[in-house]
Structure 1
Amino acid sequence: MLPPAHPDHDAAGPLHGVPLPATAFRHLPRALRRTGPRHLLHLLGQPLKRWRLGFANSKASRPYRRDPSNALLPEDRGCIVAVGDFGGKTGLCRAASYEAAKLRLRHPDLILLSLTPPAPGERRIDGGDLPAPVSRLYLLCQPNRYRRALGLFDPAQLAGAHRTGLWAWENEVFPGAWRFALRLVDEVWTPSAFSRAAIAAASALPVVVVPHHVEVDREIPALPRTRFGVPSGTFLGIAIMDIKACPERKNPWAHVEAWQKAFGDSAGHVLLIKVRCSKATRIVERELLEMIGAAGNIRLVREDFADAEQVAFQRMADVYLSLHRAEAYGLNIREFLEMGTPVVATHWSANTEYGPSFAHYHGVRADLVPYRDWMHHYPDAGFSWADADTDHAARLLRQVAANRPIQSRLPNGT
């Protein structure tokens, strides 16, 4: 027997009230909690940290600057190498792995050098292990990782290499901290036209849109929902976000607010929010828990997953929710779409370029608002980003819940 429909969950019906709106944390007295000693130290230390990082990147990269007078080696006269964080657990690391898999189809002899620390007992492979100079170099990491990436090589090994950088940037203003890297590469690949606009405006380098080569292993089964205390037959939403540096961009408060407006405290509609925090942003967890209150249908997941387990976690979902303010690509959004899972996402930035081509993509209306961020993550702050309409998101969530396949509602479902 199907679970009974909740009369208040009709898409056109009135929305539920929100016990504590997201805006409450921007005003007194709650806003004061964000200005504790740890946060003040973070803000005071940022300028020095940025200066030191910029100086270190500039100094370390100087021997590797591209010299136009050096002739490029033919590809077959040297090694073809890709460098990236292939063993990491962030979206950028997964994007590097996707790109490496695609490059291997083009270059069967591609050599991968990983920035991820080797497992105990294993030796890191670096440029010293290469049998010849590098003729083609793919830097599959952001410029802030170039100091480590280029440090794997002697500068002479790269003198004749054609260098491609894979960069992803999530707002309209190119970061000044990346300008040193413009002298290190011959071209830039970026996954979206949204990201390209910012990069191309800052440089005469060729900037090519190369969408991430997303391939999801459909043979990996979903994790058992019981592992997270979710009953069978429950309508399950998932949100995934790394808020270590800039919680405002991922906007976790809007996720809680939209779910509460859509389903109230219904035990038959559960949202799992997978979060990764830093010490400086741990306050956000407490704010989310305060918003959630005693309701048990929104829960935080703090586990880190290996690649296969991440896919298994994703596959549990009946819907993926992403009320972000801006995305350079939106890798999780694309992965869920490729799985066939409905996605409810802010219709702004890179995901607007591919989302509408999927029938199960549901774009959320949003207003553009000036950048404002209590963590001051972006020093180049003259841009706008999206503020998702949580009422619209709630109605879209109800539509997805009402239209989900019957099989997923059965009590013996996963």
Structure 2
Amino acid sequence: MKTNNLGINIVGYTKGIFGLGEAVRLNIEAAEIANISLNLIDFEKLKKNTHYKYNFDYKINLIQISLNDLDRFFSVIDPLFFQDKYTILFLVWESEYIPTKLKNTINLFNEIWTPSLYCKNIFKKVYDGPIITVPHPVEASLKPLNTRKSMVFNKDKFSYLFVFSYHSSIERKNPFHLIEAFKKAFKNNDNVELIIKTSGSNRHKKLEKKLLKSISNQKNIQIIDIDLDKNEILHLINNCDSYISMHHSEGFGLTLAEAMYFGKPTIATNYSGNTEFMNHNNSFLVDYELGLIENPDSNFPSETLWANPKLDHTIEQLKAVYQNADLRKKKAENATFFIKEKLSFNAIGSIMRNRLNHLHINFKDLNSNKNQNAYLLNQLQLAKAEITILEKELRSMKKNIIIRFIMKIKKGVRKLKGKV
């Protein structure tokens, strides 16, 4: 193990072509720019390949994976990964309700990093350790396009854009509210258009059908379900006239920040993580009322508490962006300045480096809680033991099924011989 260098072991979807993969790569780039030494562990390889070899080069660990993957993480990671280490969990949450299981899990870690004060205030209710706000860095360079997949806008129309994945919960992303507001704001005005770019519909056919039905007979709204790489997504955002998100909640709101970086007037619910970088000087924010989830799904249970944007104010802000060119230009300029100053790789890398410096200087005092380490190692062993038991039970079930099937065949053969 390297002890002298300021470094960190990062476990995440380092090659993943999805949101969490992108988020960990952004943190990696910010850390590299801040001259932080890195030891990268690809979690996809770790959970699929028992022979995947990885090292524990540094005293500090950063885990940045899906909450749904944490149990799997504990079952496959080498317990030595935690021995005499300080382990940080990078966590994003999008509801003011936290399930009991999450409360127990996050308290296995020494520290939490999270991209917004909104998330931090939620975690403070159930976690006693240090919680550090580390926003997602937002910098983008457009590379030439190899395809025309992102060229979906009509140049003669004022184009609003919203991008979401069905995997991120259509209930949370709230596109139906956006569609209703757009219809009432513009009816069939042929000078404006709303483009909703989705992905992941192949596993959510009922929801896709419902979404498509909501725009029937609406000529100025298009829903395009297509997989795009990051560069194509950035081109799509850069080519729209305005970006909008009527979410119920966002842990951060990366596409909103990217739109602001490109100087696009942005409209969003005035609630949750996006308010860290959106304000009335640089964005068009929509008023809301707090409320419980209407349609619980696999991601968010019935106790979920978040914002319901007000329809009338959404309509008002849609019209304000379209009708007031001077105002949208001024706010867009303010947005670009704010994002480039506050969320650059240098700015976020400095936050990381300052925190890691503190951890290294105070490592002995911070890591003196052996009871937590012992508890964590115990939980790891329990998880592995439980998986072993489940695997044995599964093998036994399969064996019993095969035996029953063979006995059934033998019984059938006997009956057939008796008849003969």
Q: Report if aligned partners of 1:261, 1:394 keep a CA contact under 8 Å in 2.
A: yes
1:293 paired to 2:221:
no
CA distance in 1, matches of 2:197, 2:268: 16
- Give, in angstroms, the shift of residue 113 of structure 1: 2.2
1:110 paired to 2:38:
yes
Q: Report if aligned partners of 1:126, 1:153 keep a CA contact under 8 Å in 2.
A: no
Deviations 1:310-339 (A, max 9, x none): 211211111111001111111111111122
Q: Report if aligned partners of 1:225, 1:231 keep a CA contact under 8 Å in 2.
A: no
Q: Report if aligned partners of 1:341, 1:360 keep a CA contact under 8 Å in 2.
A: no
Give the corresponding residue for 2:109: 185
**One of 274, 283, 288 as aligned partner of 1:361:** 283
**One of 289, 302, 309 as aligned partner of 2:232:** 309
Give the corresponding residue for 1:9: none
Deviations 1:221-243 (A, max 9, x none): 79868843x32231111111123
Q: Report if aligned partners of 1:80, 1:110 keep a CA contact under 8 Å in 2.
A: yes
Alpha carbons of structure 1 residues 96 and 338: separation in structure 2 relative to 1, 3 Å: same
- Partner amino acid for 1:101? E
1:128 paired to 2:53:
yes
Give the corresponding residue for 1:172: 96
Aligned ranges 1:52-71 → 2 under 5 Å:
none
**One of 26, 32, 47 as aligned partner of 1:98:** 26
Query: Aligned Cα RMSD in Å?
Result: 3.1
Give the corresponding residue for 1:331: 254
Q: How many residues align?
A: 326
CA distance in 2, matches of 1:225, 1:305: 8
CA distance in 2, matches of 1:142, 1:226: 28
The structure carrying a bigger helix percent of its residues is 2
Deviations 1:108-141 (A, max 9, x none): 43122233469xxxx98987243x5542211122
**One of 182, 191, 195 as aligned partner of 1:259:** 182
CA distance in 1, matches of 2:27, 2:144: 21
- In the superposition, the TM-score normalised over structure 2's length comes to 0.69
Aligned ranges 1:150-165 → 2 under 5 Å:
153-165=77-89
Alpha carbons of structure 1 residues 113 and 296: separation in structure 2 relative to 1, 3 Å: farther
CA distance in 2, matches of 1:307, 1:126: 31
CA distance in 2, matches of 1:217, 1:151: 39
1:145 paired to 2:66:
no
Give the corresponding residue for 1:3: none
- Partner amino acid for 1:167? L
1:373 paired to 2:322:
no
Q: Report if aligned partners of 1:371, 1:385 keep a CA contact under 8 Å in 2.
A: yes
Alpha carbons of structure 1 residues 174 and 222: separation in structure 2 relative to 1, 3 Å: farther
Give the corresponding residue for 2:274: 351
Alpha carbons of structure 1 residues 133 and 291: separation in structure 2 relative to 1, 3 Å: closer
Q: Report if aligned partners of 1:115, 1:148 keep a CA contact under 8 Å in 2.
A: no
- Give, in angstroms, the shift of residue 105 of structure 1: 3.0
**One of 171, 178, 189 as aligned partner of 1:248:** 171
Give the corresponding residue for 2:322: 401
Deviates more, 1:278-287 or 1:257-266: 278-287
Alpha carbons of structure 1 residues 126 and 158: separation in structure 2 relative to 1, 3 Å: farther
Deviates more, 1:89-98 or 1:213-222: 213-222
CA distance in 2, matches of 1:158, 1:333: 36
Give the corresponding residue for 1:14: none
Alpha carbons of structure 1 residues 184 and 167: separation in structure 2 relative to 1, 3 Å: same
Q: Report if aligned partners of 2:242, 2:264 keep a CA contact under 8 Å in 1.
A: yes
Higher-Rg structure is: 2
Q: Report if aligned partners of 2:6, 2:36 keep a CA contact under 8 Å in 1.
A: no
- Give, in angstroms, the shift of residue 186 of structure 1: 1.0
Identity of aligned residues (%): 24
1:214 paired to 2:138:
yes
Give the corresponding residue for 1:86: 14
Give the corresponding residue for 1:30: none
Deviates more, 1:359-368 or 1:323-332: 359-368
CA distance in 2, matches of 1:215, 1:147: 33
- Give, in angstroms, the shift of residue 341 of structure 1: 0.8
SS of equivalent to 1:76 = coil
Give the corresponding residue for 2:403: none
- Give, in angstroms, the shift of residue 148 of structure 1: 4.6
Alpha carbons of structure 1 residues 348 and 125: separation in structure 2 relative to 1, 3 Å: same
Deviations 1:57-86 (A, max 9, x none): xxxxxxxxxxxxxxxx77427973212123
SS of equivalent to 1:356 = coil
Q: Report if aligned partners of 2:150, 2:232 keep a CA contact under 8 Å in 1.
A: no
- Partner amino acid for 2:87? R
Deviations 1:300-319 (A, max 9, x none): 11111112112112111111
Structure 2: gaps of 5 or more residues: 330-420
Alpha carbons of structure 1 residues 298 and 225: separation in structure 2 relative to 1, 3 Å: farther
CA distance in 1, matches of 2:146, 2:196: 17
**One of 128, 143, 155 as aligned partner of 1:204:** 128
CA distance in 2, matches of 1:107, 1:151: 32
Alpha carbons of structure 1 residues 129 and 296: separation in structure 2 relative to 1, 3 Å: same
- In the superposition, the TM-score normalised over structure 1's length comes to 0.70
- Partner amino acid for 1:362? F
- Give, in angstroms, the shift of residue 87 of structure 1: 3.0
- Give, in angstroms, the shift of residue 91 of structure 1: 2.9
